[in-house]
Structure 1
Amino acid sequence: MLKNYIKIAWRNLLKNKQQTIINLLGLTLGTVSCLIILLYVFAQLGYDKHHNEAESIYRVETIIERNGQDGFDSATSSPPIAFALKEDFAEVEEATRVVLTDVFYSTLIRAANSTNAYYEPRVYMADSTFFKVFEFKFLEGDVKTALDEPNAVVLSSYLSDKLFGSKSPLGEAIIWGSGDDALTLTVKGVYDETAYKSHLNPNYIVSMGTPGMGTFVQNFPSFATNNFVYSYVKLTANSSGLGLQNKMPQFMEDRGAQDLKDAGMSNKRLELKKVTDIHLYSASRKNQLDRVSSSSYLYFLLSLAFFIQLVACINFINLSTARASKRAREIGVRKVVGAGKNALMRQFLGESLLLSIFAMLISIPIVFLLLPLVNDLTQESLSYVNLYQWQIVVILISIGVVTGLASGIYPAIVLSSIKPVKALKSSAILQSGSGTFRKVLVVFQFVVSISLVSTVIIIGQQFKYAQTKDLGYQKDNLLALRIGTEDASSKFESLKTSFLNVPGVLSVSSGNYAPSEIVLADNGFYLPGGNKESKTVVKRNGVSDGYFNTMGIELLKGRDFNVADTVDQIIVNEATLKVFNIDIEKALSVTLVQSYGDEIDELKIIGVVKDYHFASLKEEIQPLFLHKETEPNWLFIKVNTENYGQLLQSIEQQWKSTINNIPFDYRFVDKEIDKLYEEEKRLGLISVGFTILAIFISCLGLFGLISFVAEQKKKEIGVRKVLGASVQSVVKLLTKNFIKLVLIAFVVASPIAYYFISRWLEGFTYRIEIKWWVFLISGAFALMITILTVGLQSLKSAVVNPVKSLRSE
């Protein structure tokens, strides 16, 4: 019986080639989309799942309240907190800390027996307990003792190969830093950085016992300030993260009340974030250790996959029910000879399942071929191995079965319900009920298409807005050159003089932070005579004189720095004046006070600059003060040239003639700023790609429907033409109903799209306004696609010689 069902299904698929090709192509494209999105989603869901007892590991995060409002919201915390939690609570089995050192200063690294030094990013300092909490795949060395000693370092396999080639690095010395601050580290291990997916992404790890930043962290006592440490705790097997979370307020009261008072903080809350949730559920938290994604981003992609597959299923339903009359006699005969309704339903469901399984099988090699493109777009490393995950295999089979059933169930019910007497009398089409349902499904397809087009337009506008918005400084033609060492900093004036002699260089300045870098440094201030326990946090950046001219930042009041200025003289932005309620006309007579314990410092405002975006547009401009810096981390060069290759070569020559054995490390500021919006750019590109797919699948369905309608009305069209009907009137006859459906879909889709796009834009502090014409363009686009698809096929039918359609009458 099963063999007979399959044989009949196969014959029917071959008999209706056009319908089969349209359905198969639509279902295949839908399945390919689903499979690609599922591969990416599973990759994102896999972060930090590999750690031993991962569900028991938490990161300690910080929210600092000042003046009743959240003034600091960070993934970091103060140095002593992690191990104090272990001391105070039996449920904390282990604790560890991480410091991302290259946020504070750039560090050179080289093999001790080599002169080739490199700036390598993502430098961690970590406690000896780091590998007791987190799982890393060691290629060499003892994971249990790798960070036990001071001056120990563990390298990624990438860095090991770069520094030592194929030679084993164990026991080898590397030089970390330069000049008097250089340290000699001993390699204690090598790990495979590609083995797992984690929010922890170090290039190399230095033991926390190493002098300098490490000893500072180990000895720093305050529970209130210096919230730059990434703190982690691992709980015992039967402990609850929520239970520990509820004890945090009392913990801060017992341990940090005096520290908070000395620092002028009204309140500091600690929150626990499960390590497996960090990658997808902490995008709103500032100062992340590495790039994180967003769960809403994945939900959007999954929704895209669902709707694309649904559109393909709708095509199948529409075409199958529309062609019911073609099988009416077959159904009538089979019922007369004894076929029951259930048997017929099984037959029609079998046809749709067979087609769905074909689509599933075809989609697998297509996905193989598309993986390089997908990896390039998503910055992932997906491979054919990912397709063999049992979850993917189960879901793929489920997609095939569910799609087949979903596509076939309604046509099976409709077709199996045809009365044999009516079917054998004539091949009349099913009555209006099925026609109404088909119209509803077509409207739904257009709703999806119009919504997706609107979304793509808005995403593109927001991305363009981020690229073109006035940031308050001139990012174009601006080079950022990493200074990075004390020796290079001490030669800043010599570098500045030599660079100014290079043709095309307009001005040179320096600062501690490059645009797009996270500004972690800050100070707590209050006005003279104010309450020091109600300080306001102000971000801090050290710069040299000429900084504002080089960056193109407008000075609204006062003056720039000069050679005689000290760190007690500061320039503030407008946001600082606003938060302290200072009139700009009186700003130059104001001093800001900072204190810690009994120490009090007064900083005099000598200038006010216009607000500029020193962080992402996702964040509101924060209060900022700038002070004179004599040992900057970055050198900024404003240029004007038609030949960047020659300019960079000349600048590099001047660099090498002034500084030896330090890499020439530069970047274009505008390119670095664009990187802040990589996720939005990827979202836009993915949205465009899948929107085109959804529209294409919809067009396939329209093409199939209008082909059938034209065939059904072939004789009517012939009669009309014989009686004098024009080609235009025939085309209008066939297209007007579809145009009405587009207009209905436009009315339905516009408010739905507006709601969801508005929600997405809420993630940006600075964002575009949604214009009404966006939806009008989307509707017009859908209308144009419909007219092209339906109109061309209608025109083809309208120009047919009526003799051909009427000769059998």
Structure 2
Amino acid sequence: MFSNYIKIAWRNLLKNKGYSIINIGGLALGMAVTLIIGLWIEDELTYNDYFENRDTIAQVYQSQTFNNQTGTGPAIPLPLEPALRDGYGDNFKYLVMSSWTQDSYLQFGETNISRPGNYMQREAPLLLNLNILKGDRDGLRELNSIMLSESTSDALFGQVDPIGKTIRLSNEIDLMVTAVYEDIPTNNSFDDTEYIIPWDKYVSSRDWIKNSLDNWGNNSFQMFVQLAENTTFEGVTDAIIDVKKNSDADVEEYNPRIFLLPMEDWHLRSNFDNGIQTGGRIKYVWLFGFIGAFVLLLACINFMNLSTARSEKRAKEVGIRKSIGSQRGQLIYQFLSESFLVVLFAYVIAVAIVLLCLNGFNDLARKEILFPWTNVTFWLISAGFVIFTALLAGSYPALYLSSFRPVDVLKGTFKAGRYAGLPRKILVVVQFTVSVAFIIGTVIVMQQINYAKNRPVGYDKEGLVQVPTMSQDFSGKYDLMRDQFLASGAVIEMSASSSPTTRIWSNRSGFTWEGKPEGFQEDLAWTEVTPEYAKSLNLKIVEGRDFSRDFASDSLGVLINETAKKYLGMENPVGKFLKDTDEEDPAPPMKIIGVVEDMIAQSPYEPVKQGVYVFDRFDNSSYYNLRLNPDKSATENIATIERVFKSQFPDLPFQYDFVDEQYGQKFASEERIGTLSGIFTALAILISCLGLFGLTSFVAEQRTKEIGVRKVLGASVFNVWNMLSKDFLKLVIISCFIAVPIAYYIMNGWLQEYPYRIILKWWIFALAMLGAMGVTVLTVSFQAIKAARQNPVKSLRTE
């Protein structure tokens, strides 16, 4: 019986090729979008699945309150480690201190490469359960050891066995390779950890870390833990939340709170607002999940509409089948079989579309998603997906067509009824409501991105290059390098700074000044710079003056930005002092010599943070900032800079970044979301238009004789076009008025996450409405004009 259903379904598909192509094509597009979004969501939800212990791993987070505003992040102080080990050790299986991931030079023989990695405590390979390919899992027990990822080992040693070999780190210290571990896949935390060096080496080689061993106020480190058996994240957090109380009176005023953030939340739920966890990338998972579901729904609506619109053509078939004994259930199975066949064909085409588009999608989404050919679960889900879609798309047509009364149909008295087309109209309204809402959402996302992009950054990022100085080889050579770079003609100005131009690496408190309010808790962005910093960035001095090498006193000088001037409550800040409140070892007072224009160093969607630029007295620079010669090409300038660099540092690899590219990366996530949303919106509109095209074609075919009569009686092409178009245009206008308030509510809520945001303008919604109506007119006009231009003699010819 089932095979008979399939045969009849196949014949119907061949008999109505045009409608079959529209049905299968629309469904294939909808299913392809749903499949590719499903693969993306699966990749997001399985982030960190590489780590077998992920369900018990967490990172230690801290919340602190400054002037009634709570900030939260993973930065913690060094004394927290012994406090947790000694007071709460039973709660943890492993507790691992770690540096922030940082680039270092790794040299073996003539090979010198730069790779990111971490200093971590001995238990790190056990906590992460690294897959050790060579060497010892306990490879961090020796002070001068290093563990390498497989790709880093291959880059340094090639086919040579690396175990026991000595490499040089940043041209400073020698380390022996004790283990090689499998590269951590890209959809995991620590995927950029290409090497691991013992934590004790980090502490012993840096005086500022030794000085932080008892300093609860220096939050410059991070910590990862694995829970002991029979413990929970909530229970351990409740136990350790006040561990910093009574540790340091100066720290206690900020009401520090320690808690654990589980590994499953690192990627998707790591955003906090005033101390409350507010989500994160999970909002994009929900967003694309809804988009995938709605796009599939649009494709299913096409199938329903075209199937029910052709009901009168199949009415006699239903009447005859019922009159010879077919039960309604058999007819339902018949129509569902047709639906299943269409969906199956569409799914095969959808898989082909996904395979063709997957590489491009990966490039756009910054993913490495592979099609899961060997994943049994995927194919089981796919089978369920096909069945579900077939039921969703075919249920209404099956129930509707099988309900016809055979007596009425065979007598010729069957009429579709005044309201028979109402469900189709409702479905068309649903389609275009979704499409218009997608258009509005995409336009607003791109508007917000462009708004932030066009925001004044406060400095000239064009032609500005950063060169990292990740080795002690650079120590004491700033003046020499500046002279040589300027003499080369490739650079017109140069400075050095303790952080990159596009980031804030350090925040400090513990200062007092004239007029400071009682109980005010300051939090200042801190950057150490050489005197030429403002000139190299083309920062504008709005009050006072810039640093000058002609004034020895400038070594204790400081520049502040405009936001800091307001933050400190100084009407005339030039000449006033910032004083250290440390009574045991106070630093000399710093004199404010000038105010610079605000520059964006953090998120371009947030207000500029209050910042101070301090004279770099101790050579703490991490970057050279080079202003390229605008009279020469960038390629020529970079080649010259590399030649000068290599003349002084022949054993170090030359690295550089264009600041405008680094700044552009701040928009990368939103731009990817906007671009993907735009593509899915275009596909949603295309699917809706396919359905509209099919319906218009059917209506024109159904009213062929009426059109012929009207033309004979003098109707113009415009009259016929207007007759066929106006009903569809009315439906789209209704859709617009439904979509606008829905889109406004959703997008206005989305914009509230950005302190620096656009104001929703009426023209955005008007543009989306006009666009939807324009697309509708174009889609309907093709069939309407074609029908209107047809020879009425052919239209009126008897069948």
1:687 aligns with 2:677: yes
CA distance in 2, matches of 1:792, 1:141: 70
Give, in angstroms, the shift of residue 397 of structure 1: 1.8
Post-superposition Cα deviations, 1:262-305, rounded to whole Å, max 9, x if no partner, equal 3473311112111122111114589xxxxx97111111111111
Q: Percent identity?
A: 33
Q: What is the one-letter code of the residue matched to 2:265?
A: D
Residues 666 and 248 of structure 1: is their aligned pair in 2 closer, same or farther, counting only changes over 3 Å? same
Which stretch of structure 1 is more off in the superposition, 441-450 or 76-85?
76-85
1:546/1:561 contact within 8 Å kept? yes
The residue that corresponds to 1:637 in the other structure is 626
Q: What is the one-letter code of the residue matched to 1:357?
A: L
Residues 551 and 200 of structure 1: is their aligned pair in 2 closer, same or farther, counting only changes over 3 Å? same
2:186/2:368 contact within 8 Å kept? no
CA distance in 2, matches of 1:508, 1:377: 35
CA distance in 2, matches of 1:272, 1:682: 30
Give, in angstroms, the shift of residue 742 of structure 1: 1.4
The residue that corresponds to 1:559 in the other structure is 545
1:19 aligns with 2:19: yes
The residue that corresponds to 2:455 in the other structure is 469
CA distance in 1, matches of 2:226, 2:211: 22
Question: 1:425-464 alignment to 2 at 5 Å?
Answer: 425-426=411-412, 429-464=415-450
CA distance in 2, matches of 1:196, 1:548: 38
The residue that corresponds to 1:289 in the other structure is none
Extract unaligned runs of 5+ from structure 1: 287-291
1:266/1:534 contact within 8 Å kept? no
1:326 aligns with 2:321: no
Give, in angstroms, the shift of residue 360 of structure 1: 1.7
1:273 aligns with 2:272: no
The residue that corresponds to 2:122 in the other structure is 128
2:48/2:188 contact within 8 Å kept? yes
Q: What is the one-letter code of the residue matched to 1:437?
A: P
Residues 88 and 531 of structure 1: is their aligned pair in 2 closer, same or farther, counting only changes over 3 Å? farther
1:207 aligns with 2:198: yes
1:152/1:185 contact within 8 Å kept? yes
Residues 484 and 448 of structure 1: is their aligned pair in 2 closer, same or farther, counting only changes over 3 Å? same
2:135/2:179 contact within 8 Å kept? yes
1:548/1:554 contact within 8 Å kept? yes
Give, in angstroms, the shift of residue 123 of structure 1: 2.0
1:86/1:93 contact within 8 Å kept? no
1:321/1:434 contact within 8 Å kept? no
Post-superposition Cα deviations, 1:165-206, rounded to whole Å, max 9, x if no partner, equal 11111111111123xxx1111111111214574212201111
CA distance in 1, matches of 2:368, 2:9: 40
Secondary structure at the residue paired with 1:107? strand
CA distance in 1, matches of 2:672, 2:408: 55
2:65/2:254 contact within 8 Å kept? yes
CA distance in 1, matches of 2:662, 2:755: 20
Residues 441 and 642 of structure 1: is their aligned pair in 2 closer, same or farther, counting only changes over 3 Å? farther
Post-superposition Cα deviations, 1:459-482, rounded to whole Å, max 9, x if no partner, equal 222222333321111111211122
CA distance in 2, matches of 1:110, 1:436: 74
Residues 637 and 761 of structure 1: is their aligned pair in 2 closer, same or farther, counting only changes over 3 Å? same
Secondary structure at the residue paired with 2:61? strand
1:524/1:538 contact within 8 Å kept? no
Give, in angstroms, the shift of residue 537 of structure 1: 1.7
Give, in angstroms, the shift of residue 32 of structure 1: 1.1
CA distance in 2, matches of 1:214, 1:497: 30
Q: What is the one-letter code of the residue matched to 1:152?
A: S
Give, in angstroms, the shift of residue 565 of structure 1: 4.0
Give, in angstroms, the shift of residue 485 of structure 1: 3.0
The residue that corresponds to 1:92 in the other structure is 92
Q: CA RMSD, aligned part only?
A: 2.3
Q: What is the one-letter code of the residue matched to 1:36?
A: I
The residue that corresponds to 1:388 in the other structure is 374
Q: What is the one-letter code of the residue matched to 2:364?
A: L
Q: What is the one-letter code of the residue matched to 2:163?
A: L
CA distance in 1, matches of 2:63, 2:205: 24
Secondary structure at the residue paired with 2:715? coil
Residues 357 and 87 of structure 1: is their aligned pair in 2 closer, same or farther, counting only changes over 3 Å? farther
Scaled by the length of structure 2, the TM-score of the pair is 0.94
Residues 623 and 716 of structure 1: is their aligned pair in 2 closer, same or farther, counting only changes over 3 Å? same
1:37/1:301 contact within 8 Å kept? yes
The residue that corresponds to 2:160 in the other structure is 167
The residue that corresponds to 2:33 in the other structure is 33
1:762 aligns with 2:748: no
Q: What is the one-letter code of the residue matched to 1:706?
A: T
Secondary structure at the residue paired with 1:805? helix
The residue that corresponds to 1:75 in the other structure is 74
Give, in angstroms, the shift of residue 692 of structure 1: 1.3
CA distance in 2, matches of 1:42, 1:4: 38
Post-superposition Cα deviations, 1:329-361, rounded to whole Å, max 9, x if no partner, equal 000111111112222111111211221122122
Q: What is the one-letter code of the residue matched to 1:229?
A: F
Question: 1:540-555 alignment to 2 at 5 Å?
Answer: 540-555=526-541
Q: What is the one-letter code of the residue matched to 2:324?
A: V
Q: What is the one-letter code of the residue matched to 1:405?
A: L
Secondary structure at the residue paired with 2:96? strand
Q: What is the one-letter code of the residue matched to 2:429?
A: V
Residues 773 and 428 of structure 1: is their aligned pair in 2 closer, same or farther, counting only changes over 3 Å? farther
Question: 1:564-583 alignment to 2 at 5 Å?
Answer: 564-565=552-553, 567-583=555-571
Post-superposition Cα deviations, 1:34-80, rounded to whole Å, max 9, x if no partner, equal 1111111111111223333321211111111123322x421221223
Secondary structure at the residue paired with 2:419? helix
The residue that corresponds to 2:113 in the other structure is 118
The residue that corresponds to 2:775 in the other structure is 785
CA distance in 1, matches of 2:576, 2:304: 74
1:449/1:695 contact within 8 Å kept? yes
CA distance in 2, matches of 1:614, 1:198: 27
Residues 427 and 796 of structure 1: is their aligned pair in 2 closer, same or farther, counting only changes over 3 Å? farther
CA distance in 2, matches of 1:223, 1:751: 54
Post-superposition Cα deviations, 1:56-115, rounded to whole Å, max 9, x if no partner, equal 211111111123322x4212212232453243232222211211252xxx632211x33x
1:700 aligns with 2:690: yes
Q: What is the one-letter code of the residue matched to 2:120?
A: A
Residues 429 and 699 of structure 1: is their aligned pair in 2 closer, same or farther, counting only changes over 3 Å? farther
CA distance in 1, matches of 2:478, 2:771: 57
The residue that corresponds to 2:639 in the other structure is 649
CA distance in 1, matches of 2:21, 2:780: 18
Scaled by the length of structure 1, the TM-score of the pair is 0.93
The residue that corresponds to 2:106 in the other structure is 109
Give, in angstroms, the shift of residue 619 of structure 1: 3.3
Residues 196 and 142 of structure 1: is their aligned pair in 2 closer, same or farther, counting only changes over 3 Å? farther
Post-superposition Cα deviations, 1:436-481, rounded to whole Å, max 9, x if no partner, equal 1111111111111111112222222222233332111111121112
Secondary structure at the residue paired with 2:755? coil
Extract unaligned runs of 5+ from structure 2: none
Give, in angstroms, the shift of residue 427 of structure 1: 7.6
Post-superposition Cα deviations, 1:5-59, rounded to whole Å, max 9, x if no partner, equal 2222222222221111111111111111111111111111112233333212111
Q: What is the one-letter code of the residue matched to 2:795?
A: S
Give, in angstroms, the shift of residue 728 of structure 1: 0.5
Secondary structure at the residue paired with 1:38? helix
Q: What is the one-letter code of the residue matched to 2:570?
A: I
Give, in angstroms, the shift of residue 324 of structure 1: 0.3
Q: What is the one-letter code of the residue matched to 1:472?
A: G
Post-superposition Cα deviations, 1:122-149, rounded to whole Å, max 9, x if no partner, equal 2200000112211222211121x11111
CA distance in 1, matches of 2:553, 2:114: 32
Secondary structure at the residue paired with 1:600? coil
Which stretch of structure 1 is more off in the superposition, 530-539 or 789-798?
530-539
The residue that corresponds to 1:50 in the other structure is 50
Residues 800 and 579 of structure 1: is their aligned pair in 2 closer, same or farther, counting only changes over 3 Å? same
Q: What is the one-letter code of the residue matched to 2:454?
A: T
Q: What is the one-letter code of the residue matched to 1:330?
A: E
CA distance in 2, matches of 1:685, 1:50: 29
CA distance in 1, matches of 2:554, 2:336: 82
